[in-house]
Structure 1
Amino acid sequence: MRSRWDWIVLGGWVTALVVFRAARMTERDPYWQARDGIERLSGTSLIRADSWSWGPADGIFRPTSPLWNTMLGLGHESLGLAGIALVGALGMLGYFVVAAITARRLGARPLPTLAATVLVAVLALPMVSPRATIVVQTLLLATLALGHALATRPLPRRWSTYAAVTFAAAVLGMLGAWLHVSWAVTALGLAGALPLLALLAGAARWRTALAAIVGVALAVGSLLGPYGWSVWRLLLDVSSASDGQIIEWLSPFTAGLRSRWLPVVLVLLMLAVVSTVRLARYRDGTPGSRERSRWALEVVLTAIGLVSAVAGLVAIRFLGVAALTLLPVFASRLSAATPGWRANPARSEALRARLRAAYWRPIVTAVAVLLLPIALLRSVDPGTPLAEAEIAPSLPRDCLLFTDPDTAGAMLLLRPDVKVWIDMRTEVHGSQAYADTRRRLTNLRAVPLPRGTTCALLPASVASAHIDGDPAAAWSRLTAASGLSLWVPA
C-alpha cells in the first residue's frame, strides 16, 4: 500500500514539473512548429520554398519534426495556444511514464526513482521541454523495454511471431522518422543495441536472432519516413548550420557556458562511469534468468548514456540525451544501494534513519502538495509567450521584421502576416545569417538594422536603431512590453 502511495507521489511531482515546463515555454520553437503543422493541415507541401522570412537566404524548408509539428498544429487549431501547451505536456509526461516503467523493470523503488527524476531535471532542465526530441527519448526507452521483453517473456516460436514483431518494428521505425529526423541516428544505434541486449541476457539463439531482425526492421523503417535516405543530408545541414550559433550545439567549454554545463558533464560522466564499473564487476543472475536480463538492459542503457555524455563534450544537446537515458539506471542504482547504506553499522543511527522511506515519505508528499497548486496557478493562459503576445498586436500589418531568432519564432504564429529576418530554422537560413544577426544585436546603444527592415523588436535597453549604412535615418520607439521594444521608421 505504501509503495503504491509512493508511486502516486512520484506522479504528483512529475505532473507539477510537466505543468511548469509546458505552461510557460522558455523556448520558442513550438510556435513556428505549430504554424508549420497548421499550414500542412491545410494542404501545404511538406518540402517547400521558405515563405516566412525576408532575409537573404533563399532556403528550402524541410521540417525536422513533421509529425510533431502536425500534432502542435492540431493542438493550436483545437485549443489555441493552450493546445500547444497540452501537446507539449503530454509529450513530456509520456517520457516520464516510460522512464518510470523502465526503472521499475530494473528493480527501482518509487522514492529513489523520484530522486533520480529530480536529479535529471536539475542536470538537463532545458531538454525537459515541449520538443520532439523528448518523445524520441521516450521511443528509445520503450524500444529497449520491448527488446527486454523479447528476451524474457513467453513467446510462441513460429513464423507469425517473427512476422508480427518485424512488422511492428518497421512501423515503429517509420513513426520515429516522422516524429524527428534525429530518430535516424537513434534507430541505427538500436539496431545494434537490441541483439546485444539479448546476447548479454543469455537469451536463446532464436530470441537473439529475432532481436537482430527487429533491429534491422527498425533501421529500415526509419528510412521509410518523409525524407528517406536524404534524412542524413538534412541532419548534416542542420548540424553545420547550428554549429557555433545555437547554444545546444556549442561545447560546454565555450566561454559563458562553462559554469552552467561543465558541472553537468562531470556529474553525468562520473555517474555513468561508476555504473559501468559496477556492472562490469557484478553480473547478476544466470544466463536466461530475470536478474541477468535486468543486468543486460542496464548495461545497454548505461552504454548509451556514457557515449552520449562523452559526445556532450562536443555539443551540449547530447548531455540531455545522456541524462534522459540514464534516469532509469540512476533510479535502479540508488534503489540497490540504499539498503546497504542503511545496514552499515559504521554510520550513525540518525543518518541511517534518514535513509529510510518512512523518513522521506511525508516530506516529499508535503512538497508535492505545495508544488501542484503553484503549478496550476502558473498554468493561467498556458502556452502564451507573454512578452511577444503583449506586443504582437502593435506590429504594423505586413511589416518586415528584424528581431532575434527566438522572438521571431513566436511572431511567426502570432502574426502570420509579418515576415521575419531569420528564426530558429538554422538549416533554412545558414550559420552566416545567425552570425550576422548576433553582430547586429551586440551594440545595444545603436542597432544597425538590415536594409529593407520596416519594423523591429529589440531589447528594451536599446538606445537607438537605424538602417545599416544610414545612421542619419532615425527610428523611433513605438511601444514596449516585458523587455521588448517595437521600433518603426520615424
Structure 2
Amino acid sequence: MSWQLAWLAMVPVALIRAGTLAETDTFWQVRAGLLTLDEGTIPSTDPFSWTVHGQAWTLNSWGFNVLVAGAYRLGELPGVALACAALSAVAFGLVLVLARRLGASAGVAGTLLLLTSPLLISWLSARPQLVDYIAVLALVFLLHRLVSGDASAWVLPAIGLLTIAWVNLHAGALLGVAMIAATTVLVFFRSSTRHRGPWCLGALVIAGACALVNPYGVHLLDQTMHVQSSSAGVVAEWQPINPADPLLMTMLILGLIALAVAARRNDVVFTAAIGVAAVASVTAIRILPILLLLALPVLVSFASHRVVLQYLHNRRVVFLPAAVAGVAVVAVMAVMSLGHVGRPDPAQYSSAVVQAIPQNCKVFNSYSLGGFIILQRPDVQVSLDSRNDLYGSHQVLASKQVLDGIGDLNQELTGADCVLVPPASGLAQSLTSNQAWDLRAADTAAELFIRR
C-alpha cells in the first residue's frame, strides 16, 4: 500500500503539466496523426507548408502522432493533455518499480520523487519523448531481470516487442539499443556476470533487428542523425549542457552521483544505462530527464540506508506533516490546472487571431506558431514549423532573421499573403508602418497582417 501511495503523490505533478500545452510540436503532431487516420497511410510528403510543400517527409514519431490524434478525437486538446499526463504517471510508476527492486523504502522513494519533480516538470510536455521515458525504464527493468537470471525465457521476446513498439512510437528507441550494447560490454567485462553475456548479446541482436521493424527500415537511423544536425544550433534542447545553468547542472550531478553508486555496487545494467544517458546529456540536454529518471531508483535505494530510515522514523512527528503538506500543495496546484487542462499557452498562442486568417492563405509565421496554425487551420499553409529536419537549419535561421525584421522584407515575404507573428517581433513593428500590409487582427500573443 505504501508504494501505491508514493505513486499517487506523483500523479498531481503530471496533472499540473497537463494544465497548459506550450510545446509547438504537439499541435502539428496531432494534425499529422489525424491525417494518418483519415487516409489510412503515413504521409510521405509535406502537406502543411507552402515553402517545402510536397517535399519528402519522414515521420520519426508516427505512432505517437496517431496516439494523440485518437485522444484529440475523444476529447480535443484536453484529451491530448490528459493522455500525455497518463504517460508521465506511468513513467513515475516505473521509477518506483525499479526503486523497489533495488530495495528502496517507499517513503523515501515518494519523497525524493516529489522533491526532484521541479527539475522534471518542464520536460513532461505532450511530446513523444514521454514514450522514451517509459521505454527506457521498462528496458532497464527487463535488462536487470536478464542479467540476474530471474526470467531469461520471456525477457528476450519482451525486449523485442518493447523495441518494436518504441521505434514506431518514437525513433528514440535507438538510445535503448545503445544502452543494451553498453550493458553487454560490461557484463562480459566482469567475471561474475560473464555467464550472462550470451543472453545480453542475444538481447542486443534482437533489439537491433527489431529497431528495423518500422515503415522506414534502416533509413530511420539516417533520419535521426538528420534531425539532430538540423536542430543543433536552432533548438535549445539539442544544445550541449550549459555549466552556468544551475537546474541543468543539478540534473547532471544527480545522474553522475547515481552512476558512481551503481558502479560501486557493480550493477552493470544501471551503470551502463546511466553512463550512456550521461554522455548523451552532455552533448544534448534533451536527454537530461532520461538521465534523472534512471538515476532516481539508484539514489532512492542509496538513501534508504537503515541509518537514514532510523533517523526519519525518530523524527516522523516533524517529517510526516511536512510531507503531507507538500503533497497537499501539489494537489491543490493540480486541481487548479484542471480548470484549464489542455489550454494552449495564452502567452504564445491565440485562437482568435488564427481564426481570423483568410481561407487558403499562405502564411509567413514565426517558428513557434507554425504547429498551432497547422492544427487550428488545416485549410491554410504555413511558411515554417518545428519540423527542423524537413526545413533544414539554414531555412529556420533565415526565417528568424526575417522575424527580427532584418534584410529586404519585401523580397523575403514574396509568396506570402498573410503574416502571423508575435507583436514584439521586429517584423511586426516594420509591417505596422508598411503601406503594403494591413493589420487585420491582434492581441498580446500575435498580430495578423494581410497583404493589400
Tell me the residue number matched to 2:274. Answer: 305
Quick one: which of 454, 467, 471 aligns to 2:417?
454
Query: What whole-Å deviation, never above 9, does each CA across 1:126-158 have from its counterpart, x for those lacking one?
Result: 322222222222112112212222344655xxx
Summarize the Cα distance change of 1:40–1:461 in structure 2 as closer, same or farther, 3 Å threshold: same
Summarize the Cα distance change of 1:429–1:381 in structure 2 as closer, same or farther, 3 Å threshold: same
Query: What whole-Å deviation, never above 9, does each CA across 1:426-477 have from its counterpart, x for those lacking one?
Result: 1111111110121122249x97662122222221235764999xx8543232
Summarize the Cα distance change of 1:375–1:165 in structure 2 as closer, same or farther, 3 Å threshold: closer
Give the counterpart letter for 1:340 in structure 2: V
Decide whether the 8 Å contact of 1:57 with 1:428 is kept in 2: no
CA distance in 1 between counterparts of 2:259 and 2:333 reads: 39
Where does structure 2 lack aligned partners over 5 or more consecutive residues?
Answer: none
Query: What whole-Å deviation, never above 9, does each CA across 1:188-220 have from its counterpart, x for those lacking one?
Result: 432442674698694693x54333322321221
Alignment of 1:478-489 (within 5 A): 478-489=440-451
Decide whether the 8 Å contact of 1:106 with 1:328 is kept in 2: yes
Summarize the Cα distance change of 1:200–1:72 in structure 2 as closer, same or farther, 3 Å threshold: farther
Where does structure 1 lack aligned partners over 5 or more consecutive residues?
Answer: 156-160, 284-294, 344-351
Summarize the Cα distance change of 1:32–1:278 in structure 2 as closer, same or farther, 3 Å threshold: closer
1:132 corresponds to 2:132: no
Q: CA RMSD of the aligned region, Å?
A: 3.1
1:116 corresponds to 2:135: no
Decide whether the 8 Å contact of 1:28 with 1:406 is kept in 2: yes
Q: Secondary structure at the match of 2:421?
A: strand
Give the counterpart letter for 2:167 in structure 1: A
CA distance in 2 between counterparts of 1:201 and 1:152 reads: 14
CA distance in 2 between counterparts of 1:111 and 1:18 reads: 19
Shift of 1:271: 3.3
CA distance in 1 between counterparts of 2:427 and 2:337 reads: 35
CA distance in 2 between counterparts of 1:399 and 1:244 reads: 30
Alignment of 1:75-86 (within 5 A): 75-86=71-82
Decide whether the 8 Å contact of 2:20 with 2:343 is kept in 1: yes
Shift of 1:28: 1.8
Alignment of 1:70-469 (within 5 A): 70-152=66-148, 155=151, 162=153, 165-193=155-183, 196=186, 202=192, 205=195, 207-253=196-242, 259=244, 262-281=245-264, 283=265, 296=267, 299-336=268-305, 339-340=306-307, 356-385=315-344, 386=346, 387-443=349-405, 450-462=413-425, 465=428
CA distance in 2 between counterparts of 1:373 and 1:118 reads: 14
Decide whether the 8 Å contact of 1:147 with 1:197 is kept in 2: no
Decide whether the 8 Å contact of 2:142 with 2:155 is kept in 1: no
Of the structure 1 ranges 39-48 and 412-421, higher mean CA displacement relative to structure 2 is found in 39-48
Tell me the residue number matched to 1:65. Answer: 61
Q: How many pairs are equivalent?
A: 447
Q: Secondary structure at the match of 1:73?
A: helix
Decide whether the 8 Å contact of 1:123 with 1:264 is kept in 2: yes
Summarize the Cα distance change of 1:356–1:447 in structure 2 as closer, same or farther, 3 Å threshold: farther
Query: What whole-Å deviation, never above 9, does each CA across 1:91-144 have from its counterpart, x for those lacking one?
Result: 211111111111111122233223432454333443222222222221121122
Summarize the Cα distance change of 1:418–1:146 in structure 2 as closer, same or farther, 3 Å threshold: same
Decide whether the 8 Å contact of 2:48 with 2:382 is kept in 1: yes
Shift of 1:39: 0.8
Q: Secondary structure at the match of 1:309?
A: helix
Of the structure 1 ranges 404-413 and 479-488, higher mean CA displacement relative to structure 2 is found in 479-488
CA distance in 1 between counterparts of 2:314 and 2:222 reads: 51
CA distance in 1 between counterparts of 2:128 and 2:23 reads: 13
Summarize the Cα distance change of 1:408–1:88 in structure 2 as closer, same or farther, 3 Å threshold: same
Summarize the Cα distance change of 1:172–1:273 in structure 2 as closer, same or farther, 3 Å threshold: closer
Give the counterpart letter for 1:211 in structure 2: C
Summarize the Cα distance change of 1:461–1:147 in structure 2 as closer, same or farther, 3 Å threshold: closer
Query: What whole-Å deviation, never above 9, does each CA across 1:233-259 have from its counterpart, x for those lacking one?
Result: 101211111111111112234xxxx65
Summarize the Cα distance change of 1:271–1:15 in structure 2 as closer, same or farther, 3 Å threshold: closer
Summarize the Cα distance change of 1:279–1:118 in structure 2 as closer, same or farther, 3 Å threshold: same
Summarize the Cα distance change of 1:366–1:271 in structure 2 as closer, same or farther, 3 Å threshold: closer
- Residue identity over aligned pairs, in percent, reads 25
